[in-house]
Amino acid sequence: MTTNKNTITAACKKLITAREHWEANELAASNRKLYSILSRCFDVYKQLAANVFLVDAVNDLLAAKDIKVISTLHPANKLMKLIFGDNDRRRVSAYATVMKAALEDEKDATADFAAWVNKKGGIEAIRTGGTTENSTTAETKSADAFSKAAAQLSKEHAIATINPSSKFPDKTGYVLVLAHIAPDRSLSVVKFVGDVDDDRTKALVVKVVADEEKNFKSVVGKAIKNREKLIKQQEKEAKASNKAREKKQKEEAALTEAATDDEEIDKMLEEIQARRAAKQAQTDAYDEQLDEIKQWDVVYTADEENDEINVAA
């Protein structure tokens, strides 16, 4: 029994040593390489986040690799699917979450991506939101988020106001209210849930503002897509119009060229006819001279001193 226990103990110690060596060497090297790739992915993602039209390039590459995605999928998820494939969706989702978190902390993530990931506790900690930052830092960030959300809500007009009551809390801030709406749309406060600006209320305030911003971005995104679609349609129509115009211009040019050719042919024919007329006139002149010569009378006069000439005549 003791021998078996010692054997297990020795085997476990060897495995622990092997694991420590693997973590310090192979795993560390693998993580460094992975963080390097993710850092370069983050450089691309920042460009996509800054210009939504660039996402079309990612969509085209996904289609070329036959990776199916829905049009509303977040650009970070699209990019990770493209780079790491679609075989491990959990990994793709985790890396996409890292991209989004890095963009929220862009300054530090850009300065040293690997150091930023390690500071956050690694990829899994970022994915689950369980970073290793101390509680004071987390509380500070939570307080900042609530302050920003509260400031945003304060700019909105209240739907309705209720007259002051001694039964209301004497603190200023946000509080959850359980109320009843009557058929005439009047509102009756039943009770207050929790305290003013308690953690649950703060979390809800932050969520409400975040949801509004998300909806706003969604509306803007749809508007941009519709505008992009309209621009593409206009470009398509413009190209079609240009092609029709070019075709018409070519046809007009061909007709003009044909008309020019006809004019040149007519001119050549006129020149030929003129030359023929000139030659005919010249021939007629020669004929007239010949006829005149034919009508001449030849008179021979005898030479008394030269009989040979007389004989020839």
Domain assignment of residue 26, yes or no: yes
Q: Which helix (H) or strand (E) holds 192?
A: strand 187-193
Report if residue 88 sits inside a domain.
yes
Q: Is the pLDDT of residue 143 over 80?
A: no
Can you give the pLDDT at residue 264?
Answer: 78
Asked whether 23 and 65 are in contact (CB, 8 A), the reply is no
Percent of the chain with pLDDT over 90: 23
Helix (H, G, I), strand (E, B) or coil at 188: strand
Q: Span 81-100, mean pLDDT?
A: 92
Report if residue 240 sits inside a domain.
no
CA dist 131 to 37, 124, 283, Å? 21, 9, 116
Q: What average pLDDT does the structure give for the chain?
A: 81
Identify whether 163 is part of a domain. no
Given this model, what pLDDT does residue 142 score?
A: 65
292: three-class secondary structure by DSSP: helix
Residue with tokens 């085997």: 11
Taking only the tens place, the pLDDT of each residue in 198-222 is: 777 888 888 888 887 777 777 777 8
Is residue 311 over pLDDT 80?
no
Question: pLDDT tens-digit profile of 230-261?
Answer: 888 888 888 888 888 888 888 777 777 766 66
Question: Is residue 35 in some structural domain?
Answer: yes
The boundaries of the domain holding residue 24 are 2-133
Helices (H), 122-198: 123-128, 135-154
pTM surpassing 0.85? no
pLDDT over 50 at 269, yes or no: yes
Question: Residue 112: its pLDDT value, please?
Answer: 94
Q: Residue 136: what pLDDT? A: 47
pLDDT of residue 135: 43
pLDDT in the model for residue 209: 80
Is the model's pLDDT at 76 over the cut of 50?
A: yes
Burial call 29-57: b when 16+ CB within 10 Å, e when fewer: eebeeebeebbebbebbbebbeeeeebee
The answer to whether position 271 is within a domain reads: no
Q: Whole-angstrom Cα distance, residue 292 to residue 284? A: 12
- For position 128, what pLDDT does the model report? 85
Q: Indicate if the pLDDT at residue 299 is higher than 70.
A: no
147-192 per-position pLDDT tens digit: 888 787 778 777 778 888 888 887 788 888 888 888 988 888 888 8
Of 79-88, 257-266, 272-281, the one with minimum mean pLDDT is 257-266
For residue 45, being part of any structural domain is answered with yes
Q: Please tell me the predicted confidence (pLDDT) of residue 42.
A: 94
In a domain, 139, yes or no: no
The top-scoring range by mean pLDDT among 35-44, 271-280, 291-300 is 35-44
Sign (positive or negative) of CA dihedral 100, 101, 105, 110 = negative
Q: How many domains does the chain divide into?
A: 1
pLDDT one-digit tens code per residue, 98-139: 999 999 999 999 999 999 999 998 999 998 886 544 444 555
